[in-house]
Amino acid sequence: MSILVDKDTTFIIQGITGREAVTMARECLDYGAKLLGGVTPGRKGREVHGLPVEDNVLAFTSRTRVDAAVVSVPPGFAADAVLEAIDAGIKLIVCVTERIPRKQVAQFVEYAAEKGTRIIGPNCLGVISPGKTRVGGIGGAAESTRRAFKPGKIGVMSRSGGMTVEIANSLSEAGLGVSTAVSIGGDAIIGSTYAELMPLFDADPETEGIAIYSEPGGRAEYELADYMARSGSKKPIIAFMAGRFMDEMPGMRFGHAGTIVEGRADTTASKIANLTAAGITVAEKIGDIPRLLNERLGK
């Protein structure tokens, strides 16, 4: 098993004729993902790597089952694309686009919740279940992706797309491998937080432990700590907190849009204390994650 996606997951790419999306489509196909085609308004009838391009999402959903959509359109059009996918009945939307104003994100996230649609992102690289499928640009070329993401037993959640790959690679090198890795996005408001994805990992028999990458800014780590206390979840979590230097530089923004220290609760020091109190092991070094997981798994 895996979470969110499996080998039969069908999906489309909104904005498929864009330069980055064309590359992403190639990489997904090479990986063996069930990509059906994509949408670019006014480009109906064209093809991308032999797959159909349509004017709207309904052109796909009216004739076939579409499990997921990747939104890869410019920020000014992204909210509209997400709403279109929600209304077409797609239940998993991976929003890759960066720089969407948070008012628009709050609006489509609220609508998605009403309609029972799950959103991953924005500002993410997508979801991968190694050996089964990938939805999004995560891992890059299929060959590099296979090298960094070996099938295995650790779930990964990360606010940074690049660090998702880094952590997965270290887990693969250590022989632990990855069950599902989710690049959850680096923005201040995202569709699915650590705490919202944890129940899926908890229910997944293939996932034995979880690795998390986090940053200053926001309150998502507190929500995760609350979940751990509330749910009685037994799966070991190793978290890594980057950007410790930012604690000394309030008001400066580094890294992702959601990364800024505005108050005491945003600092890495405060988050680390909170996670530790909830029984989550916080790694001092990024390279320590595999070893700490092995220790927590009793191996």
Partner 1 sequence: MRFYEFESKQILKKAGIPLPKSHFCKTADQAAAAAFEIAGPVVIKSQVLSGGRMKAGGVKFADSPGEAAEHARAILALPINGLMPVGVLVEEKRAIAQEYFAAVTWDGRAKKAVIIFSDMGGIDIEEIAEKHPEHLSRTHFSASRPFSDYIAKNAVAGVGVTGNDLNALTRIVAGLARTFLDRDMTLAEINPIGKLEDGSIIALDAHMDMESEAARQHLDLLKELGVGPEEKRQARPPTQFEIDAEKVDSADTRGVAGNLTEFDGNLGLIIGAGGGSLTLFDAVRAAGGRPANYCEIGGNPSVSKAANLTKLICAQPGVEKIAVMMNVVSNTRVDIVARGVVKGCIEAGFDPAEKIAIFRIPGSWEDEGFAILKKYGVPYVDRTVSMDEAARMAVENTKKKA
| Catalytic center residues | 256
Single out the segment in contact with partner 1 by CB under 8 A; choices: 87-95, 229-237, 245-253, 271-279.
245-253
What gap in Å lies between CA 125 and CA 291, rounded to an integer? Answer: 26
Find the shortest distance in angstroms from Cβ 1 to partner 1: 25
Binding mask 260-299 for partner 1 (x = CB under 8 A): ---xx-------------------xxxxx-----------
Rama region for 243: left / alpha / beta (φ>0; ψ in -120 to 50; rest)? left
Name which of residues 107 to 136 contact partner 1 (CB under 8 A): 107, 109-111, 125
Pick from 1, 249, 269, 273 the residue near partner 1 by CB under 8 A: 249
Cα 61 to Cα 65, 80, 85, 89, 95, distances in angstroms: 6, 17, 9, 8, 18
Query: In terms of CB distance, is 170 or 281 closer to partner 1?
Result: 170
Sequential DSSP letters for 75-124? HHHHHHHHHHHHHTT-SEEEE------HHHHHHHHHHHHHHT-EEE-SS-
Q: Please report whether residue 253 would count as binding partner 1 according to CB under 8 A.
A: yes
> Over 229-250, what HEC string results?
HHHCCCCCEEEEECCHHHHHCC
Single out the segment in contact with partner 1 by CB under 8 A; choices: 5-13, 34-42, 51-59, 212-220.
212-220
What is the DSSP pairing of strand 34-39 with strand 10-14? parallel
Burial label for 234, CB within 10 Å (0-12, 13-18, 19+), is exposed
- The one-character DSSP state at 266 is G
Q: Please report whether residue 79 would count as binding partner 1 according to CB under 8 A.
A: no
Binding mask 30-69 for partner 1 (x = CB under 8 A): ----------------------------------------
Ramachandran angles phi, psi of 201, nearest 5°: -65, -40
Find the shortest distance in angstroms from Cβ 88 to partner 1: 19
Pick from 35, 148, 184, 275 the residue near partner 1 by CB under 8 A: 148
Instruction: Count Cβ atoms below 10 Å from residue 113 Cβ, excluding itself.
Output: 12
Find the shortest distance in angstroms from Cβ 252 to partner 1: 5
Single out the segment in contact with partner 1 by CB under 8 A; choices: 28-36, 44-52, 158-166, 270-278.
158-166
Q: Please report whether residue 181 would count as binding partner 1 according to CB under 8 A.
A: no
Query: In terms of CB distance, is 66 or 283 closer to partner 1?
Result: 283
Q: With contact defined as beta carbons under 8 Å apart, do 159 and 215 qualify?
A: yes
Query: In terms of CB distance, is 49 or 99 closer to partner 1?
Result: 99
Q: With contact defined as beta carbons under 8 Å apart, do 186 and 256 qualify?
A: yes
Structure tokens given for 65: 């089952």
Q: Please report whether residue 229 would count as binding partner 1 according to CB under 8 A.
A: no
Q: Please report whether residue 142 would count as binding partner 1 according to CB under 8 A.
A: no
What gap in Å lies between CA 157 and CA 181, rounded to an integer? Answer: 6
Q: With contact defined as beta carbons under 8 Å apart, do 119 and 192 qualify?
A: yes
Find the shortest distance in angstroms from Cβ 191 to partner 1: 8
Binding site for partner 1 (CB under 8 A): 23, 75, 99-103, 106-107, 109-111, 125, 137-141, 144-145, 148, 158-163, 165-166, 169-170, 173, 186, 188-190, 193, 213, 215, 218-220, 222-223, 240, 242-246, 249-259, 263-264, 284-288
